[in-house]
């Protein structure tokens, strides 16, 4: 993929419709140069409708989660058809914060299959909880990828993006920030895993993003030195100036 992909994950923020509308509007008006970039904003479900008011139609709408069911009596679930009707084109699957609530690789695999069935692109999140000195974290991520992509065909991979998000580098309880070298190692390893499952050609076509305390200070380094195909941005995506600053850093 030639385009660099910048994904904003707002998580359970902001608290009001008004604030979400201002944030959408500010990002839309500030993000002028989007040539060669795919910008995806993933707000909470109640705020998806606000994107329809945006003037900047180059910004793409994404969802933070999706149901593994297409329809039926499943209280609290949101189906692919509902999301598509709201204009959603991308879906995050397997985020570590969802996994911490009990979401298994099997459930994530079902969500991915359901998304692809309805022509939605998937941002699959993988990442280890701890980085040990014996390299066990590599087999952990390998298992995640193989389980989550179980029965996903080679043609379907064109709608898959993988985001590496080391759990130990995320959020307020982060142990530390990941280094560019650590991401580079994992980026190469992920491509090897994909190559082993499918083939080397398709392995080099899947975009691999970095996510884990991404900010305007470290974004450029992960892109240029780390070779990331894009970024999954959390906290800094809630600040329009900082998020657009990240977008503008990417050449």
Q: Return the active site residues.
A: 95, 165
Cis peptide before 14 (omega within 30 of 0): yes
Contacts of 248 (CB under 8 A, 6+ apart): 33
Q: Pick the closest to residue 63 from 33, 94, 42 (CA basis).
A: 42
- 3-state secondary structure (DSSP) of residue 94: coil
CA angle 102, 108, 109 (to 5 degrees): 140
Q: Please tell me the distance from the alpha carbon of residue 102 to that of residue 108, in angstroms, as a whole number.
A: 11
Query: Is residue 238 classed exposed, middle or buried when 0-12, 13-18 and 19+ CB atoms within 10 A define those classes?
Result: middle
Dihedrals φ, ψ of 138, to 5°? -70, -45
Residue 237's nearest CA partner among 85, 16, 26 is 26
Q: What is the DSSP letter of 175?
A: S
């Amino acid at each position: 993929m030639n385009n660099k992909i910048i994904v904003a994950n707002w998580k359970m923020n902001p608290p009001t419709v008004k604030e979400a509308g201002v944030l959408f509007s500010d990002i839309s008006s500030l993000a002028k140069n989007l040539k060669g970039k795919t910008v995806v904003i993933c707000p909470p479900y109640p705020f998806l409708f606000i994107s329809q008011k945006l003037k900047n139609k180059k910004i793409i709408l994404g969802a933070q989660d999706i149901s593994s069911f297409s329809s039926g009596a499943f209280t609290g679930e949101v189906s692919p058809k509902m999301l598509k009707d709201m204009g959603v084109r991308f879906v995050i699957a397997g985020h570590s914060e969802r996994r911490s609530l009990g979401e298994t690789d099997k459930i994530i695999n079902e969500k991915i299959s359901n998304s692809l069935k309805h022509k939605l692109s998937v941002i699959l999140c993988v990442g280890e909880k701890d980085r040990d000195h014996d390299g066990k974290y590599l087999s952990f991520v390998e298992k995640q990828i193989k389980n989550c992509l179980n029965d996903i065909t080679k043609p379907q991979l064109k709608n898959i993006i993988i985001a590496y998000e080391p759990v130990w580098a995320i959020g307020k309880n982060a142990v530390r920030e990941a280094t560019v070298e650590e991401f580079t190692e994992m980026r190469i390893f992920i491509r090897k895993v994909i190559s082993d499952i499918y083939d080397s050609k398709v392995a080099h076509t899947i975009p691999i993003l970095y996510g884990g305390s991404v900010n305007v200070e470290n974004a450029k380094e992960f892109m240029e030195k780390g070779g990331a195909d894009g970024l999954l941005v959390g906290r800094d995506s809630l600040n329009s100036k900082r998020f657009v600053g990240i977008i503008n850093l990417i050449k």
